[in-house]
Amino acid sequence: MDQEKQIKLLQDLIQIETIDDHEKQVVDYLAKLFAPYGKRVRFTRVPYQGDRESVVISIGPLDGDFTLGFSGHMDVVNLGDRSAWHDDPFSGKLYDHDTKMYGRGTTDMKSGLAGMVGTFLTLLDENIPLHGELRLLATVGEETGMWGSKELTKQGYVDDLDVLVIGEDTTDLNVVYASNGDIDYTITSYGKVAISSQAGAGINALDNMLDFISLANDKLRNLPRIHETLGPVVHNVTMISGGDQVNSIPGKITARGNIRINPLYTVAEIQAILEDVVAQANQLPQHRFDLQYDYLGEAVNGEIAGEYVTTAQTMLTEIVGHPVKVVGEPGATDASNFVKSPTAPTMLVVGPGNDSVHQIDEYVDVAEYLAAAEFYERFAKKYLS
């Protein structure tokens, strides 16, 4: 695909507003894009709810000797203060002598998705014989719960992949071979309401919550397994709410916590540790806690010197003209669900990225976007043609 068409493809995707919804409109756009190729393309819609659906797009023989997966999410995050944006956040306009494209989702992560779609169109237009299948998993709801990747994994679309490339943004087009998992949980502390001048008549649920947080931090921040690139498990309580008024002892306090799990631990292992902390806290006098899980995502661990990782690193170094690193990603991606497949493939993450992710005036460097698109095409041709 020539550069002008590749840029227009990304602009079209940016102009579809998918703030935590409406991914079906992207799917409709892709359906029109691939319609001229007829039966050469297998196009499967996977409904979620309302105006939201994922899609699986596939080309090449189903009985080939290799199956390569590409993946990207179609949703974007909230705009924040829309009036603070210097231009329409869904314009896809080019700035700075056409070197940057601005708009919500340019980096996270419609540029990665557009680059992958461009590879499909190139392979189709060039009539390149394929000895295996190229499959795109375009998902809903990655930003708010990874709903699409959970459903696609459940339906088996990951099981037969040999390798899966996720187009999430990575700094300087570095190759991510491993990423942290994620547990989000809610903990509730129950006490007894009383007037603050007679505190002994009540049970301060906030004081008790602070005891739990201290115990949890002491345990979860000092686990012994340290990953080579991602470091230790990270735990933070990030939200606390409750109480009735300033002169009343609070009878109920709710907190939300986040645990970033390095690849040397499973979700089940960290759950067991957290639940043991809750059990210890419940043994303290007048302490009562209830724990529930809001999200469970596994960590992903690859081989830092594995074939696909080193191939990607070599290709990208050639494309961008300077050394590209192999790194770990402290955040979570849809890979946290894909890895739950009983036959999960090797996974790596490569996509255009910068520090404007989730910020006002988000943008993508056009040259980096085009470099990523070239990488996806080269990688697909190497393993499928």
Instruction: State residue 145's pLDDT score.
Output: 87
Residues 254, 240: Cα–Cα separation, whole Å:
6
Burial of 332 (0-12, 13-18, 19+ CB in 10 A): buried
Looking at CATH, the fold of the domain delimited by 181-297 is given as Alpha-Beta Plaits (3.30.70)
Average pLDDT of the segment spanning 366-379: 98
Average pLDDT score over the chain? 97
Instruction: State residue 353's pLDDT score.
Output: 92
Residue written as token pair 């080939």: 64
The ranges assigned to domains in the chain are: 3-180+300-384, 181-297
What residues contact 284, with CB distance under 8 A and at least 6 apart? 208, 211
Q: Is the pLDDT of residue 30 over 90?
A: yes
CB 262 within 8 A of CB 233: yes
Q: What is the DSSP letter of 101?
A: E
Burial of 49 (0-12, 13-18, 19+ CB in 10 A): exposed
Query: How many degrees, rounded to 5, is the angle at CA 262 between CA 334 and CA 208?
Result: 100
Residue written as token pair 């990488």: 375
CA 384 to chain centre: 26
- Taking Cα atoms as reference points, which of 171, 175, 172, 116 lies closest to residue 321? 172
For domain 3-180+300-384, the question of CATH label 3.40.190.10 is answered with no
- Structure tokens given for 314: 């070599």
Residue written as token pair 């869904």: 90
Q: What is the DSSP letter of 322?
A: S
Average pLDDT of the segment spanning 136-153: 96
Q: How far is CA 266 from CA 151, 231, 287, 335, in A?
A: 21, 15, 29, 14
pTM: 0.92
Exposure on the CB side of residue 226, measured as CA atoms within 13 A = 5
Residues 204, 189: Cα–Cα separation, whole Å:
9
Phi and psi at 336, nearest 5°, equal -65, -25
Q: What is the DSSP letter of 110?
A: I
Span 281-299, pLDDT tens digits:
999 999 999 999 999 999 9
Instruction: State residue 199's pLDDT score.
Output: 80
Residues 8, 203: Cα–Cα separation, whole Å:
62
Residues 268, 282: Cα–Cα separation, whole Å:
21
Q: How confident is the model at residue 9 (pLDDT cuts 50, 70, 90)?
A: very high
Whether the link from the prior residue into 101 is cis, omega within 30° of 0, is: no
